[in-house]
Amino acid sequence: MRGGDASSACPVLHVDVDAFYAAVALRDRPELRDAPVVVAGGGRGVVLCASYPARRHGVRSAMSVVHARRLCPSLVVVPPDFAAFSRASASVLEAFRSVTPRVEVVSLEEAFLDVRGAHRHGTPLQLAQRLRALVHDEQGLTCSVGVAPTRSVAKVASRRAKPDGVVVVPPEEVAAFLRPLDVGALWGVGDKTRERLHRLGLRTVGDLADAPLELLEGRLGPGAARQLQTLARGEDRREVRDRRGPTEPDRSTGADATLARDTTDRAVLHRELLRLSARLTGRMRRGGVVGRTLTLKVRYSDFTTLTRSRTLPEPTDVTQEVYRTATDLLDALLDRPGSRGRGVRLVGVRAEHLVRRSEVHHQLVLGEPEHGWAEADRAVDRATGRFGAAAVRPASLLPGAPDRRPA
């Protein structure tokens, strides 16, 4: 891979959104950003996720809210919004797949990425930084990333990177990275297994890696013993697997961005929608899908969020068609009596009801030009694929266009 940094021989990324449920719940409640917060289902429920300020009081996931309040009397309990969690997770997954199609989803907030085919876009470390910036820019969430030669080492590395960091473990440093850690740091070693290993005198990963296999087999069984030593030695060779199957498309895909400052300037918002439409349709074309329904999202400065949708006569992946629809929806929304003069802080565009492009037969229209916006998009795709994302862009997006909030 180009760049020559220490990550070049590390094809696996483990990306984990920091305190996912709490972070999503707090995105629209900035007054609680520094407060100890848990996401939980009621006063006698169980903690689904704790914010980092709450964790400093010893509050943890799976703890009862009653116990959590004893540890932290000032605790704020926020009810879960599973629809919001699902939407945020889908958008984060889209960001992952904008880097590589080889994504193995572990949960709503974490996934493994195999970036061996993405080398033309940068080294694994550069891709990790790009992903973190993209997720922060589009979703207001932070990620921690482990970059390593294997899945299990990448998983451990992402934990060590928390919160909001990157840890790279090159192949020649795997042993030095793993050996000093407590055995409980290994992926798949729970509290009970950790206690059993400690009773055997095996406290560090190095102890486990050096232990006689016969000893482990006698206490843990042959399969578990071999698996644990494989993990302790960083020799896990399991491949990253996209479990969707090769022909199953995502149901929707989108892009949104928070502006550098709240604005009422329609021209600024149109430029941002053009940027987002180009990003969205480029992702759709790479994935071989088209969308029939387009949805606009607008978040005002008071954090009120509105969406408007339109179903098209035919599915599309054409930038100009998406952009025109998005701006029509935006203009209609901004022209409402209650919307005039309200500052906008975020805009987004989403394509829904996706189908494979190969399954759609384009209806020819009399007088339609032989070469149009679709061909122009594909020419841009070829140029950016060869020379990078900045090689070709609309004139209105050249330097001088508004920046978004820094990641």
State the Cα–Cα distance between residues 32 and 395, nearest whole angstrom. 41
* Block residue for tokens 């071989």: 288
Cα dihedral 354→357→358→361 (10° resolution): 100
> What are the backbone angles phi and psi of residue 258, rounded to the nearest 5°?
-90, 130
CA atoms within 13 A on the CB side of 308: 14
What order of strands is seen across the sheet that includes strand 103-107?
103-107, 110-114, 12-17, 143-148, 166-168
Q: H/E element holding 347?
A: strand 344-356
* Binding residue numbers: 16
* Binding residue numbers for Mg(2+): 16
> What are the backbone angles phi and psi of residue 113, rounded to the nearest 5°?
-125, 130
State the Cα–Cα distance between residues 285 and 46, nearest whole angstrom. 43
Q: Compute CA distances 260 → 40, 263, 344, 404, 407, whole Å.
A: 33, 9, 11, 4, 10
Q: From the CB of residue 364, how many other CB atoms can be counted at a distance below 10 Å?
A: 7
Catalytic residues: 110
State the Cα–Cα distance between residues 159 and 146, nearest whole angstrom. 8
CB-based burial label for 290 (10 Å; 0-12, 13-18, 19+): buried
CB 88 within 8 A of CB 141: yes
The 3-state DSSP class for residue 119 equals: helix
State the Cα–Cα distance between residues 299 and 291, nearest whole angstrom. 23
N-to-C CA span, the chain: 25
CA atoms within 13 A on the CB side of 7: 25
State the Cα–Cα distance between residues 217 and 214, nearest whole angstrom. 5
